């Protein structure tokens, strides 16, 4: 889109204000539900496509106190009891939270806006919800997530994942203290499907982002080591499963080894990896599955837990260098 005036047209303010009214009144009207879903989907898609080019336009549209207050109230209702919130209403919140996620991505100045802090705090409440733990128990039972599951286990974690500002880091850490033992209680996930891949990736995004201080704190060693052990067990289980869809199996292995690689920067967990005798399994996977994304993460892990001499015997140096160069070029 070459003309920013199209995005800055007054019609979008009218559409935004329509959403504010819908969220405030929560009308039990199918026509209004459909209109609100369509508007929120439009704003979500526009933000995703154009925010990097026209960030000021989207700041004016979305950093609007009446809208943020209504979105926050809606999220609070979900935190209290998402089962009492209609799927249509949750879908509107899901779309809008996605738009805010894209707006604040890598923009610390926007993250520090007091209005955005309200959203961070409301989303954090969802992880304390009794519904969250109950619904987490059933993740993976179906290949596709419901809109309520998508909101709790994908949208909320990925929004909170953007909470990079040092001034808001306490919100992220407070959620981690709740989420880490809760997730460990549910692991290992035994199914092989898209919903498991999504949930593992989004929840681990919160658990690991800006987490060096917490991972290096003795008070949390036990929980992080449990997570590492669960991921190792999942890797073993998934690799041994005869899956009808090898692509899904490979995607899940990609996700698992990527999350395991988050542990290699701290000596405590490198020792745990050696204790788990990871290298043999990882080498078997490298030989059996020809996937460069998997190989890249596995070689990162092996570089941490094996000696340089051992690494040189694993594969031709040209192959390892090629994998790392391709990854660097694609960053």
Q: Which residues of 276-285 are buried (b: 16+ CB within 10 A; e: fewer)?
A: bebbeebeeb
DSSP letters along 226-240, please? HHHHHHHHHHHHHHH
Q: What is the pLDDT of residue 6?
A: 74
Evaluate whether 37 touches 92 at the Cβ level (below 8 Å). yes
Q: Which residues of 13-30 are buried (b: 16+ CB within 10 A; e: fewer)?
A: eebbeebbebbeebeeee
**Closest by Cα among 183, 266, 267, 190 to 227:** 183
Q: What is the pLDDT of residue 328?
A: 67
- Rounded CA gap, 71 and 292, in Å? 41
If one counts every other C-beta atom within 10 angstroms of the C-beta of residue 102, the result is 22
* Residue in this structure with the two tokens 């926050």, named with its chain if needed: 72
The token duo for 225 is: 């080591």
Evaluate whether 316 touches 277 at the Cβ level (below 8 Å). no
**Closest by Cα among 272, 193, 281 to 239:** 281
Rounded average pLDDT per 10-residue block, the chain, 331 residues:
70 94 81 93 96 94 97 97 95 98 92 92 95 93 94 97 84 94 94 94 95 92 97 94 81 97 94 92 90 91 83 65 67 58
- Rounded CA gap, 182 and 330, in Å? 35
* Residue in this structure with the two tokens 């619904």, named with its chain if needed: 135
**Closest by Cα among 251, 150, 160 to 197:** 251
**Closest by Cα among 322, 323, 299, 301 to 312:** 299
Q: What is the pLDDT of residue 200?
A: 97
Q: What is the pLDDT of residue 36?
A: 95
Evaluate whether 36 touches 56 at the Cβ level (below 8 Å). no
- Rounded CA gap, 14 and 11, in Å? 5
The token duo for 235 is: 């890797």
Angle, helix 55-62 to helix 10-25, in steps of 10 degrees: 30
What is the phi/psi pair of residue 299, to 5°?
-65, -30
- Rounded CA gap, 164 and 70, in Å? 24
What does DSSP assign to residue 128?
T
Q: What is the pLDDT of residue 272?
A: 94
- Rounded CA gap, 310 and 45, in Å? 48
pTM (two decimals): 0.90
């Amino acid at each position: 889109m070459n003309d920013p005036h199209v995005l800055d047209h007054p019609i979008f303010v009218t559409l935004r204000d329509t959403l504010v009214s819908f969220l405030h009144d929560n009308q039990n009207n199918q026509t209004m539900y459909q209109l609100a879903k369509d508007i929120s989907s439009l704003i979500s898609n526009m933000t995703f496509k154009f925010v990097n080019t026209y960030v000021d336009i989207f700041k004016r549209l979305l950093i609007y106190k009446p809208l943020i207050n209504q979105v926050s109230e809606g999220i609070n209702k979900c935190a209290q009891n998402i089962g009492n919130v209609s799927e249509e209403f949750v879908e509107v919140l899901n779309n809008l939270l996605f738009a805010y996620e894209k707006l604040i991505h890598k923009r610390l100045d926007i993250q520090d806006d007091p209005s955005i802090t309200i959203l961070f705090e409301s989303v954090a409440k969802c992880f304390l919800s009794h519904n969250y733990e109950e619904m987490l128990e059933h993740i993976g039972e179906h290949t596709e997530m419901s809109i309520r599951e998508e909101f709790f286990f994908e949208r909320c974690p990925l929004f909170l994942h953007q909470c990079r500002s040092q001034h808001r880091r306490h919100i992220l850490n407070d959620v981690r203290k709740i989420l880490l033992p809760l997730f460990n209680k549910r692991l290992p996930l035994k199914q092989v499907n898209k919903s498991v891949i999504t949930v593992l990736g989004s929840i681990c995004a919160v658990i690991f982002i800006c987490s060096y201080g917490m991972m290096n704190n003795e008070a949390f060693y036990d929980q992080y080591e449990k997570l590492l052990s669960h991921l190792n067990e999942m890797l073993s289980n998934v690799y041994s499963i005869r899956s009808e869809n090898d692509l899904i199996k490979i995607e899940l292995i990609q996700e698992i080894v990527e999350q395991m690689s988050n542990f290699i920067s701290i000596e405590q967990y490198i020792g745990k990896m050696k204790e788990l005798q990871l290298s043999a399994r990882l080498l078997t996977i490298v030989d059996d599955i020809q996937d460069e994304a998997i190989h890249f993460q596995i070689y990162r892990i092996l570089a941490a837990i094996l000696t340089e001499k051992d690494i040189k015997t694993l594969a031709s140096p040209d192959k390892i260098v090629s994998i790392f160069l391709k990854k660097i070029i694609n960053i």
